[in-house]
Amino acid sequence: MPKSAEPLRFVTFAGGIASIGADATQFCFDNELPRHRVLLEPYALADRLVTNAEYLEFARDGGYRRAEFWLADGWTTVTSEGWSHPLYWSDALDAEFTLSGLQPLDPATPVCHLSYYEADAYARWAGARLPSEAEWELAAAEVEISGNLLNQLDEARLHPRAASGSLRLRQLYGDVWEWTASAYAAYPGYRAPSGAIGEYNGKFMCNQLVLRGGSCVTPADHIRASYRNFFYPAARWQFMGLRLARDL
């Protein structure tokens, strides 16, 4: 078990006009369409996910008691629900409940089961921000779909793993769904399909945030760069974590 993760690096992107969204000639869900252009300012993405050890620093620094890091709705939720750490962490901050039972907190593995509010608060505390979904997709377009996904492990672990390898960007696929700062809304030109299928995604385009990249329980053949997951900002039960972004 790694005792600590490699130091976090930021990878820069020039921005500009880019196209995002699915290729309509291949299978995709309606909310991935239509493919369209976006304008991105120069930005940087962290080369890996935020780890348990890094998030632990936030918790021990009083992050859950310092309103300056939280969105108003997030602070209301933290105080009303009594949150003081990620959902499945022990109160002593030294263990987490997993699909294999209670395990010692691994400092090098990605922090998971975070709400959007927690991810956003951590990013502010760290002097960074969450990426937009367009920034994430532009970066993911250059990365092969490979990682800690359900069908790609020699031995299914069903839990996030520490970053490894020498890719410029690591852990874009698998491990945890990555919160973005983007509201779950229709792409320009989107029209909900007629009939029952129109109830599947379009009806939920309100008050939710987009996540990208899949997790350790996502089938490898189910994920792609354009895939848009979405959850309410207070949700914590899914394998959800974060990658930091910065403006340049």
Amino acid at 66: R
Give CA–CA dist 94/177, Å, rounded: 23
Residue 60 belongs to a domain:
yes
Provide the number of structural domains found in the chain.
1
Range of the domain at 176: 10-247
For 184-242, the pLDDT digits (tens) are: 999 999 998 888 777 888 899 999 999 999 999 999 999 999 999 999 999 999 999 99
Residue 117 belongs to a domain:
yes
Closest C-alpha among 92, 93, 122 to residue 8: 122
Residue 5 belongs to a domain:
no
**pLDDT given for residue 92 in this prediction:** 97
Place of tokens 């120069």: 42
CB 183 within 8 A of CB 171: no
Residue 141 belongs to a domain:
yes
Q: How many residues does the chain have?
A: 248
pTM: 0.95
Give CA–CA dist 7/222, Å, rounded: 31
Residue 3 belongs to a domain:
no
Label residue 1 by pLDDT band (50, 70, 90): very low
Give CA–CA dist 167/147, Å, rounded: 11
Q: 152: which 2 tokens?
A: 């790609």
Residue 126 belongs to a domain:
yes
Give CA–CA dist 144/111, Å, rounded: 23
| CATH code of the domain containing 131 | 3.90.1580.10
For 89-99, the pLDDT digits (tens) are: 999 999 999 99
